[in-house]
Amino acid sequence: MHAFTHLDRKQHGTLEFPVEYYYVDSKHPQYQMPFHWHNEWEILRVLAGTLHISLDDEQYSLGEGDTLLIRGGVLHGGEPENCIYECLVFDLYGIFRTLEMVKPYLRPFYRQTCLPKSFYPAGGSGEAERILGELLAVFSTDNVCPELETVAGLGRLFAWIKKQGAYETLSQAEGVTSSTDRLKPVLEYIESHYAAAITLDDLAAVAGMNPKYFCRVFRSLTHHSPVDYLNFYRIEQAANLLDSTDLPVTEVGSRCGFFESSYFTKVFKKYKGTTPVAYRRNLREV
């Protein structure tokens, strides 16, 4: 299990081929998808169950076969229900950086002046749905030349988006991310200060909003109150420490901002369905 951060700084793939495939089921350390963002783009498809996911201020309930195209920099997070999903994370600029002839077509996507369609439902018979499925299949099945097929597939996908006009321009969509951009520093503040006492006023000040308005914006984007999300984040960090260290449970709680052991146990059970002691014991028995 690995602790998560809100700004994903991980190198996905390699510098030469900045692409990485992920298969996510209930055993994955980030099965409960925290709100985060990264500069890379992402293709996400649900294989089973349901995934409730937010992209900036848009909400989706994805079922089997539904696919999302997530732009770089978009704040997203999800809550799975008996769900298995797969993701392909890729650096669009890095893949095509040496191909000068395609840069005029892709530059609006790099600069986020073209915001392509995000949702591609299951059962779609269109070319885009087929291309997205083929891109994911490159990594989910044996393939002798994944790099070549990925470059070709992404070229087909963005050519389709351009030809079909399946995007909004910045002038049409301006303001869509204004609230989420103000929320990102709050999430980074939680990441850096979760072990300390944090008040609602502290978080609202980081966002530059009054507390009442901040609570409304935060809930509209994450479907959690600020305090609820702070506790969720703290419990995820505590779960990581319980798995990766032999620290006493009380020490784990205090390192994650819970200074009363009984309150730590109560909140941990709320989010994990079991006590910290039982959680650690179950991990060690696996």
The arithmetic mean of pLDDT across residues 41-63, rounded, is 93
Q: What is the DSSP letter of 102?
A: G
The arithmetic mean of pLDDT across residues 107-132, rounded, is 88
Q: CA-CA distance, 158 to 77, in Å (whole number)?
A: 24
Place of tokens 């018979």: 125
The number of beta carbons lying within 10 Å of the beta carbon of residue 98 is: 8
Residue 112 has pLDDT above 90, yes or no: no
Residue 194 has pLDDT above 90, yes or no: yes
178-285: which CATH topology? Answer: Arc Repressor Mutant, subunit A (1.10.10)
The arithmetic mean of pLDDT across residues 198-223, rounded, is 90
Torsions phi, psi of 236, nearest 5? Answer: -65, -40
pLDDT of residue 28: 80
CA 218 to chain centre: 16
Q: Where are the domains of the chain?
A: 19-173, 178-285
pLDDT of residue 262: 95
Residue with the larger pLDDT of the pair 142 and 151: 151
Q: pLDDT of 57-89, one tens digit each? A: 789 999 999 999 999 888 898 899 999 999 999
Mean pLDDT is lowest, of 102-106, 141-145, 192-196, 254-258, for 141-145
Kind and range of the H or E run holding 72? none
Q: Is the pTM of this model over 0.95?
A: no
Mean pLDDT is lowest, of 125-139, 162-176, 192-206, for 162-176
pLDDT of residue 136: 93
From first CA to last CA, the distance across the chain in angstroms is 13
Q: pLDDT of 177-189, one tens digit each? A: 456 777 888 988 9
pLDDT of residue 162: 93
Cα dist. 208→76, 177, 186, 234 in Å?
21, 16, 10, 23
For residue 46, give both structure tokens. Answer: 């649900």
As a whole number, the mean pLDDT across the chain is 87
pLDDT of residue 2: 41
pLDDT of residue 3: 46
Residue 10 has pLDDT above 80, yes or no: no
Contact 89, 36 (CB under 8 A): no
The arithmetic mean of pLDDT across residues 222-228, rounded, is 89
CATH of span 19-173: 2.60.120.280
Residue 103 has pLDDT above 80, yes or no: yes
The arithmetic mean of pLDDT across residues 8-13, rounded, is 61
| Amino acid letter for position 22 | Y
Contact 221, 251 (CB under 8 A): no
CATH topology match: 19-173 vs 178-285:
no
pLDDT of residue 175: 44
Mean pLDDT is lowest, of 256-260, 263-267, 278-282, for 278-282
pLDDT of residue 182: 79
| Amino acid letter for position 171 | S
Contact 88, 139 (CB under 8 A): yes
pLDDT of residue 164: 92
Q: CA-CA distance, 268 to 256, in Å (whole number)?
A: 11
